[in-house]
Amino acid sequence: MDYMLDAYVGYDIGSVAEPDDIPRTDDTVWILGKQYRAIEDLDQIRRDVQSRLWCTYRRGFVPIGGSQHTSDKGWGCMLRCGQMVLAQALLQLHLGRDWEWTAESRDETYLRIVNRFEDNKAAPFSLHQIALTGESSEEKRVGEWFGPNTVAQVLKKLVKFDDWCSVVVHVALDSTLATDEVVELCEDKSDAGTSWKPLLLIIPLRLGLSEINPIYVAGLKKCF
């Protein structure tokens, strides 16, 4: 992690030296459905990666609820993963897959998305809201590690309170997708007719012990 952080924040844009943040390889690189050649497309890969929201451990924020927790180091990994999954869904929905961040970016929509993940209770998808919702609805104390299903269930609840995000979260339990349930969730019926709310489908599933079993790789690629 320290090496990754150094590579991310330590690169001097004005330097004439060739950065080594991306491995040199002839293999094809896939990032969220977009295909690159690592040797030929280094700059495009960097721009793509920099355009994703990175939610990681923080310290020094306002204590969560009545707890004394001012850092999520050691217990917030899955909560942060959940934030990044939802953040990517919102970026793709509201800005499109080809949108790219730059240091001069002042896009109002982008800032509205980022603000939703600030580390304070007022932000709808903050660490505070996720932890407190987990405590009230999933019996997880603040500071207790969340599993994938727990954070998915919490996000499913939280998106209902933010009309602007305009997305429905569905969690497929036991790796089973009931399409009639999804249709019922996503159809928004009114006097003007029926519209469809975008869906973020989460399937909590372990695809290997310490690493992904290769037999699942082809299937995962087809998801994009």
3-state helix/strand/coil string of 48-104? HHHCCCCCCCCECCCCCCCCCCCECCCCCHHHHHHHHHHHHHHHHHHHCCCCCCCCC
**Any domain includes 68:** yes
Given this model, what pLDDT does residue 17 score? Answer: 46
Domain that holds residue 210: 54-221
DSSP helix, strand, coil percent of the chain (3-state; round to 5): 40, 10, 50
Residue 84 domain flag: yes
Phi-psi label, residue 166: left if phi above 0, alpha if psi -120 to 50, beta otherwise = left
38 part of a folded domain: no
The pTM of this model reads 0.85
Q: Is residue 1 part of a domain?
A: no
Please give the residue that has the higher pLDDT: either 194 or 3: 194
What are the pLDDT digits (tens) for 44-67?
999 999 999 999 999 999 999 999
pLDDT tens digit sequence for 207-218:
888 899 999 888
User: Is position 14 within any domain?
Assistant: no
Q: pLDDT by residue (tens digit) across 76-94?
A: 999 999 999 999 999 999 9
Specify the number of domains making up the chain: 1
Residue 17 forms part of a structural domain:
no
